[in-house]
Amino acid sequence: MKKTYYVYENSSTNPYFNLALEEYLLKNKLHSNYFLLWQNENTVVIGRNQNVVAEVDEQFATEHKIHIARRMTGGGAVYHDLGNQNYSFITDYLPGKNSTNKHFAFPIIKALNSLGIPAEYSGRNDIIVGDRKVSGMAQRVYKNRLLHHGCILFDTDLLMMKNVLKGKQRTDHRSVKSIDRRVSNLKNFVQDRITLEDFKRCSVEALCAEAEVQSLKLDAKDLFEYFGSERIKCL
């Protein structure tokens, strides 16, 4: 019997709301399985154990109106803008069955492959095309629930990303070149023949092959009541 995934295409681009939504659905089991598609306006999202001062050029972020937010999962700092697509799986934690990043990368890779993109999983917990990273991912177990999320680089401003993330700013120019060479936008492989809407459609279709899919309807008021509006602003 196929499991049922509740799919929610989130229209909000507010990073604080979007990260709070993930936490709400992880900690409040309204349904067993969720698949979320969402985007953030210009934002640096740091891992739960990271130091903002060490990871982010805060002056640059302020000057360019870039938000800074902390997520529930570990891993490194990432840059989000409307040129990328974020996705989240929230489900029951089944050790040995769905506890790996590779497990959740499969439908995303399948969606990209269906669009003619030769994407594959990398041992670094990345999705790659050739030798270029186009998506990173992270996850968190909370009690008996699991959150897995990732970000597809479609047409992200990579120069902005390099400037705001201190990890991308190296005194040795060879290190910068190495980073630039490893990270790439999907748009470089598909020109203008594929859009983010195509990816969203194909990702849901890939999920449909593995599970029953239903649309999820949420009331933002419930989220604000759960966290409080001030908490969402400062996550």
Q: Which domains does the chain have, with CATH numbers?
A: 4-233 (3.30.930.10)
Q: Which residue has the tokens 């529930």?
A: 72
Residue 200, SS3 per DSSP: helix
Q: How far apart are CA 203 and CA 208, in angstroms?
A: 9
Average pLDDT, the chain: 87
Between 87-101, 112-126, 157-171, the lowest mean confidence (pLDDT) is in 157-171
Buried b (16+ CB within 10 A) or exposed e, 17-45: bbbbbbbbbbeeeeeebbbbbbbbebbbb
Q: d(Cα 158, Cα 163) in Å, to the nearest integer?
A: 9
Give the pLDDT score at 219: 67
Please report which confidence band the pLDDT of residue 125 belongs to, taking 50, 70 and 90 as the band edges: confident
Spatial neighbors of 116 by CB under 8 A, at least 6 apart, are: 190, 194
Residue 81 to residues 13, 31, 160, 226, Cα–Cα distance (Å): 9, 29, 10, 27
Q: What is the pTM of this model?
A: 0.88
- Between the alpha carbon of residue 17 and those of residues 22, 40, 198, 234, the distances in Å are 9, 10, 25, 10
- Identify the sign of the CA torsion 222, 13, 19, 104: positive
pLDDT > 80? residue 167: no
Cα separation of 22 and 18, whole Å? Answer: 7
Q: Give the separation between CA 79 and CA 153, rounded to whole angstroms.
A: 10
**pLDDT beyond 50 at 197:** yes
Q: Beta strands 212-215 and 4-9: pairing type?
A: parallel
